[in-house]
Chain A
Amino acid sequence: MVLQKEMLARQFRELSMAKETGKKVVYTFVPGNLSELIHAFGMLPVYPEINALQSGMRKKSGGFIRDAEKAGHSEDVCTYVKCDVGMLLNGNIGPTGDKLPAPDLLLLSYTGCFTFMKWFETLDRLYPGVPVAMLHTPYQENGRITREMTDYMVEQLKTEVIPKMEKVSGVKYDETRLAEILEHSAKAEDLITKIFNTTKNKPSPIDGYFAGVYYIGPINAGFRGTPDAVEYYQALYDEIMDRVEKGLGPITPEGVMEEEKFRLVVEGPPNWTSFRNFWKLFYDMGAVVVASSYTKVGGVYDYGFRHDPARPLESLAHYCMNCYTNLNLPQRIDLLAKYITDFQADGFLVNSIKSCNSFSAGQLLMMRQLEERLGVPVGFIESDLVDPRYFSYSNIKNRLDSFFQMLSQRKAIRGEMEAMPA
């Protein structure tokens, strides 16, 4: 935790001094982010979604959203977008209190979320004259990546993204440099995969959702490809393995969870404005999330994908196409089914966010299919990313109470059945 805080503080400090140090700044998104490429050109990344969620956790998003709505954004627009726009309108002061530098390049890595395009059209208007590089990631419509899809992406990298990066940074593209960075990426990816697999233990040593969102911070927020990230994930892994050896449960804001009563798989992003209260509704009930799709938003490493220094651009393309929200619905269902089975979950829960299309479309289908395929009890709650108006504590509590009671009832029955002689 300390290490992570230091890393992030350093990152934001570096960003705030970018103008003085002459470092160029790239605004880009987490899903399908090209952090390694940005680093290869010595530039600094800024992730608007991460700023938005940080503003949400720091109780600033409500005001930002109001300002964005005043500026004409509708109530139904993605609240990350509105929070980001509101932050810009209020002087672009980042989560740590430092002013964020204006972008030198807008790198739109388009992975399945149509809002991303509209978001960058807005940024394009707010930062007139800043070059925009668009990387279109083909959706895995048929559930696989074809040669043509890879070629198409590599071609875009070569003809659109890299030339623009060269121009903005004044640095020539160096594939050897990129390959070195990708080596670090692969190491961090190995480690984070091992970390998220530790929840197979009983009790699970960590919460793979509420704590998981902290763990994905470094890898998603620009540290992928750095030795820092490898060091961080190694330290984290060691710490968690120590907990496993001691048989300890996950750490919550109120201490170690004494008894693991329910193991859940959760689909969908969390609510950030009432994050602590939201989490409390789970740990108070002894519920631990053993796997979540949201922690795979910045990359799915479960099936063995790693950035590959031997094929730098190709592996960047594969990385983008493998992001969770770029998978088709049957693929997402397969992944969730794998989690439910491998991690021995007692229940599956969806946190649906209406303003987030890329996650919420298809969630009911997922529920139905998982229920049918695995006979797993399913639950559904609704909240929002960073709009505090759409987090109803009592509604969510009411649904979760029923959900947990449903799970314990089923567990009791199953326990009796197993206890009965064959």
Chain B
Amino acid sequence: MKKYYLGIDLGSTTSKAVIIDEKDRIIGRGITNTRSNYEVAAELAKQAAIFNARFHLLQQRLSGIMESRPEYRRYLDDLKDAFQFLQFRERMQQLGKQFRETLPAVASDTQQLQQMEPLLDKIIGEILAETKSDYLEHSLGGESQFFRDIVAERYNARVADLPKQYFEPLMLLFDKSINPVENEILQFDFRELVDEAMGMINDRYAFLADRPEGDRSLNFDAELNLLMGNYRKVSDSLSEHIDKVAKEAFHIANMVGTGYGRALLPFPEDCIKSEILCHAFGAHAVFPNTRTVLDIGGQDTKAIQVDQYGLVTSFHMNDRCAAGCGRYLGYIADELSISLNELGPLALEARKEVNICSTCTVFAGAELRELLNVGEKREDILAGLHRAIVMRAMSLLARSGGVRNEFTFTGGVARNQAVLRYVSDLVRKNYGQDLTINVHTDSIFMGALGGAMFARRSAEGLTTEQLEKNTASEVH
């Protein structure tokens, strides 16, 4: 039986899970928003990672075909999205139930209650329909993929369009209902869910194939065009592989929890590791020449120095203030009413950087409004804000002993292109143009990866020699 190892990183904003195999290769990753119930957050991240691992195995089995037949790759991508949507739908239905249970508590009287019921059904129906096409057409794109965020955005938009008297009770209804629904663990059967997802996408291909002659809107999509002709064949030939993958038992031989919520994880004490060690270990595994790690997460920034084995020699964290972390960006995005993912691209459009003085997140919000007021452009202010964040990280790096070659940037914020640009510029300017700067697309998973790797090592009791060999090996 194959052995797998699980690392869970319970961060302040997101919870991440990574599953690795016996060679430290990532075979599954899952992410969810951290919620009040940490156990649920950890479980959901783990569930997502296991599903992801099954798809990963499926992809491995199909790698030969996928290279020569692009429609297979497309089919698999569509299948994954439909699979995601079905999980979303299930939770949405739970939310609908919760709405009905909570409704009497927020409606002012029976009459309002009776008026609100059909309104709610309509809203739920519309959200489901909209989200379905967003998932199936891959148009969620830059938006948050978390249930709460997807629903909240669409729900709020619809409630805003209703007559005023419904606004307050409906907003209250959402606030009261979302937490219990979010904190519920829903069990899914992979095989059943995949079958349903296949049915759903097959129907869609059939529908698209039957579209009227004149509709040429999809003609540019070569893969989809290929699929419409032979989706049945593709789906039939996948069935056997899916059977195998669905039956694969994911034996988690050992696991390690990390992140700021680690002490609350339902893990035995020796399976809890500091996030400093995990982030460093993960980053070092992916980029073995790493000597300095900068991790910017939701509410903390860490500057970590590591040795050739990926073991931490010293570290520094922000203490009394979370300005300069992910939450800061979240706050700014809220202030500007745009999504978190739009911030970076917008900042990159700047023609100049407005100087931001505030080191406090809350004051930066006030400063932002003031600057907009005096006519500064949004993108120029954002550029200044991004620079301000990075300046704080630079100071932390300096405190931790500076930057040594190679430098690896991790954490959720590393996905923000503007932050990345300023980090690269300032690190090179201060510590040398020749520095190698590493950023991985999975940068947000480094802590969970490090955790999984510790899990494997502590399970096997490796020696230094092996450790050295392992840390030098590549992680895919």
B401 touching A368, Cβ below 8 Å: yes
A371-B401, A395-B319, A398-B260 known; A409+B312 contact, CB < 8 A? yes
B319 touching A405, Cβ below 8 Å: no
A401 touching B319, Cβ below 8 Å: no
B319 touching A392, Cβ below 8 Å: yes
Say yes or no: is B311 at the interface (Cβ < 8 Å to chain A).
yes
A402-B276, A405-B274, A405-B277 known; A417+B464 contact, CB < 8 A? yes
Report which of A382, A392, A401, A409 forms a contact with B311, defined as CB distance below 8 A: A409
A413-B464, A416-B463 known; A371+B277 contact, CB < 8 A? no
Interface size class of A (residues with CB under 8 A): 20 to 34
Report which of B312, B316, B317, B467 forms a contact with A406, defined as CB distance below 8 A: B312
B314 touching A377, Cβ below 8 Å: yes
Output the least CB separation between A327 and chain B (Å).
23
Question: What are some 6 contacts across the A-B interface (CB < 8 A)?
Answer: A380-B399, A395-B320, A402-B315, A406-B274, A409-B277, A420-B464
Given A377-B314, A380-B399, 9 other A-B residues pairs in contact with their CB atoms under 8 A: A367-B401, A371-B401, A378-B313, A379-B314, A380-B314, A402-B275, A402-B276, A402-B315, A409-B311
Interface string of A31-67 (1 = CB under 8 A from B): 0000000000000000000000000000000000000
* A residues in contact with B316, CB < 8 Å: 380
* A residues in contact with B464, CB < 8 Å: 413, 416-417, 420
**CB neighbors of B among A348-373 (8 A):** 364, 367-368, 371
B463 touching A410, Cβ below 8 Å: no
B277 touching A406, Cβ below 8 Å: yes
Compute how far the CA of A137 lies from the CA of B317 in the bound complex, rounded to whole angstroms: 37
Say yes or no: is A10 at the interface (Cβ < 8 Å to chain B).
no
B313 touching A377, Cβ below 8 Å: yes
Number of chain B residues close to chain A: CB under 8 A:
22
Compute how far the CA of A60 lies from the CA of B309 in the bound complex, rounded to whole angstroms: 48
Please give me the 3 A-B residue pairs with the lowest Cβ-Cβ distance, nearest first.
A402-B274, A402-B276, A416-B464
Say yes or no: is A172 at the interface (Cβ < 8 Å to chain B).
no
Compute how far the CA of A377 lies from the CA of B277 in the bound complex, rounded to whole angstroms: 13
Compute how far the CA of A237 lies from the CA of B6 in the bound complex, rounded to whole angstroms: 52
Compute how far the CA of A410 lies from the CA of B276 in the bound complex, rounded to whole angstroms: 14
* A residues in contact with B29, CB < 8 Å: none
A364 touching B314, Cβ below 8 Å: no
A377-B313, A398-B260, A402-B277 known; A382+B319 contact, CB < 8 A? yes
Interface string of B249-268 (1 = CB under 8 A from A): 00000000000100000000
A392-B319, A395-B319 known; A410+B311 contact, CB < 8 A? yes
Say yes or no: is B273 at the interface (Cβ < 8 Å to chain A).
yes
Closest partner residue, chain B, to A405 (CB atom): B274
What is the predominant secondary structure among interface residues of chain A facing chain B? helix
B274 touching A401, Cβ below 8 Å: yes
Closest partner residue, chain A, to B272 (CB atom): A401
A382-B319, A402-B275 known; A413+B314 contact, CB < 8 A? no
Report which of B311, B317, B401 forms a contact with A399, defined as CB distance below 8 A: B317
Closest partner residue, chain B, to A381 (CB atom): B319
Interface string of A383-422 (1 = CB under 8 A from B): 0000000001001001101100110011001001100100
**CB neighbors of A among B292-322 (8 A):** 309, 311-317, 319-320
* A residues in contact with B399, CB < 8 Å: 364, 380
Output the least CB separation between A383 and chain B (Å).
9
B313 touching A371, Cβ below 8 Å: yes
Closest partner residue, chain A, to B399 (CB atom): A364
Output the least CB separation between B344 and chain A (Å).
28
Instruction: Give me the interface of A with B, judged by CB distance under 8 Å.
Output: 364, 367-368, 371, 377-380, 382, 392, 395, 398-399, 401-402, 405-406, 409-410, 413, 416-417, 420
Residue of B316, B319, B401, B467 with most chain A CB atoms under a 10 A cut-off? B319
Compute how far the CA of A417 lies from the CA of B309 in the bound complex, rounded to whole angstroms: 13
Compute how far the CA of A382 lies from the CA of B314 in the bound complex, rounded to whole angstroms: 15
* A residues in contact with B311, CB < 8 Å: 406, 409-410, 413
Interface string of B277-296 (1 = CB under 8 A from A): 10000000000000000000
B273 touching A405, Cβ below 8 Å: yes
Compute how far the CA of A368 lies from the CA of B316 in the bound complex, rounded to whole angstroms: 12
Output the least CB separation between A72 and chain B (Å).
24
* B residues in contact with A409, CB < 8 Å: 277, 311-312
Compute how far the CA of A392 lies from the CA of B401 in the bound complex, rounded to whole angstroms: 24
* A residues in contact with B401, CB < 8 Å: 367-368, 371
Output the least CB separation between A106 and chain B (Å).
35
* A residues in contact with B309, CB < 8 Å: 413
* B residues in contact with A382, CB < 8 Å: 319-320
B314 touching A371, Cβ below 8 Å: yes
B276 touching A406, Cβ below 8 Å: yes
Compute how far the CA of A368 lies from the CA of B402 in the bound complex, rounded to whole angstroms: 10
Closest partner residue, chain B, to A413 (CB atom): B464
**CB neighbors of A among B431-476 (8 A):** 463-465, 467
* B residues in contact with A402, CB < 8 Å: 274-277, 312, 315
* B residues in contact with A395, CB < 8 Å: 319-320
* B residues in contact with A399, CB < 8 Å: 317
Compute how far the CA of A382 lies from the CA of B318 in the bound complex, rounded to whole angstroms: 10
Closest partner residue, chain A, to B315 (CB atom): A402
Closest partner residue, chain B, to A377 (CB atom): B313
Compute how far the CA of A230 lies from the CA of B191 in the bound complex, rounded to whole angstroms: 81
B463 touching A378, Cβ below 8 Å: no
Compute how far the CA of A364 lies from the CA of B401 in the bound complex, rounded to whole angstroms: 8
**CB neighbors of A among B57-71 (8 A):** none
* B residues in contact with A406, CB < 8 Å: 274, 276-277, 311-313, 315
Compute how far the CA of A342 lies from the CA of B317 in the bound complex, rounded to whole angstroms: 30
Output the least CB separation between B53 and chain A (Å).
28
Output the least CB separation between B146 and chain A (Å).
25
Closest partner residue, chain B, to A390 (CB atom): B320
* B residues in contact with A364, CB < 8 Å: 399
* A residues in contact with B312, CB < 8 Å: 377, 402, 406, 409
Compute how far the CA of A379 lies from the CA of B314 in the bound complex, rounded to whole angstroms: 6
Closest partner residue, chain B, to A400 (CB atom): B274
Closest partner residue, chain A, to B311 (CB atom): A409
Closest partner residue, chain B, to A348 (CB atom): B314
Output the least CB separation between A86 and chain B (Å).
23
Closest partner residue, chain B, to A354 (CB atom): B320
* B residues in contact with A377, CB < 8 Å: 312-314
Closest partner residue, chain A, to B310 (CB atom): A409
**CB neighbors of A among B405-422 (8 A):** none
Compute how far the CA of A405 lies from the CA of B280 in the bound complex, rounded to whole angstroms: 13
Interface string of B192-204 (1 = CB under 8 A from A): 0000000000000
* A residues in contact with B465, CB < 8 Å: 420
Closest partner residue, chain A, to B262 (CB atom): A401
Compute how far the CA of A392 lies from the CA of B309 in the bound complex, rounded to whole angstroms: 32
Compute how far the CA of A14 lies from the CA of B202 in the bound complex, rounded to whole angstroms: 94
* A residues in contact with B276, CB < 8 Å: 402, 405-406
* B residues in contact with A416, CB < 8 Å: 463-464
Closest partner residue, chain B, to A416 (CB atom): B464
* A residues in contact with B277, CB < 8 Å: 402, 405-406, 409
